[in-house]
A and B are shown apart, each in its own frame.
Chain A
Amino acid sequence: MAWDSPTTVNMTNGLDSFLPYLSTVTNFWFGRMLMIAIFVIFIMGYLKANKQDYIGAFAVASYVSFVIGLIFWVIGIVSGLDFGVVVGLAVISSALLFTQKKEY
């Protein structure tokens, strides 16, 4: 498949033009790698602060990924399938977070 040259992109709209082009030429892997990096950074950062709270770390990373994934999906950096995975992660983390035993 022949990819479009960067010079064919109309840059008058700024990143709104460039980012979809970047996703197209990388077959959405640019957005996927960014999402994976954000997820790993947040889960590791939370675990650094609370070493035993794995479910909390998973939930925080999932919610942050959901918010950023929503923006990425709207501007076309990640595909709908990738965003569906992020939504699924957020829902699963909600189930784990809210059903763990705690004192009310």
Chain B
Amino acid sequence: MAEDSFKTILFGLILFVGFSWLLLSVAVDFGSEYGRDSNEIGNGSLSVVDFQSTAEEVEDSASGYRSRFESGKVDDIDDASGIFSVATDMINMITSPFKLLSQVLINIFHVPSLIINIILGLLSITFILAIWRVLRAGS
């Protein structure tokens, strides 16, 4: 039962963040294409600027991640595009759903930062315990 609940929460979190990202991106891009400012949505109460900047950061990280692998310099630690940069990008990609979830909670639901940090902390602990469980099962 616990495994099923965790799997449901995991898939739900990923799909929820993805769909929320999709909805807001469509609203911002479609609106700007036809001369509408995204600050008009919700008469300014729905601030999508921070969300958009986070989404652009994720996109930049993904592009850098891909270009480093395509350049074939992932093992060159002296170069700026070395293995540490790749590791940083990988960590950024792993944590990007948490960033996007926090942006959705802040900008749409106006949840206080304290509650968001508690939720993200619980999710992080859940993921760490889940990884530990997988390692134990594998060993």
Contacts and interface: CB of A to CB of B under 8 A. Distances in A.
A91 B42 CA distance: 14
Interface of B: 4-5, 7-9, 11-13, 15-16, 19-20, 23-24, 26-27, 30-31, 34, 36, 40-43, 45-46, 104, 108-109
A74 B42 contact: no
For the complex, would chain A's binding face be called helix, strand, loop or mixed by DSSP majority? helix
B34 A101 contact: no
A87 B12 CA distance: 18
B36 A95 contact: no
Contacts, number: 76
Interface of A: 66, 70, 73-74, 79-81, 83-85, 87-88, 90-91, 94-95, 98-104
Contact of A80 (B20, B42, B109): B42
Contacts of B27: 70, 83, 87
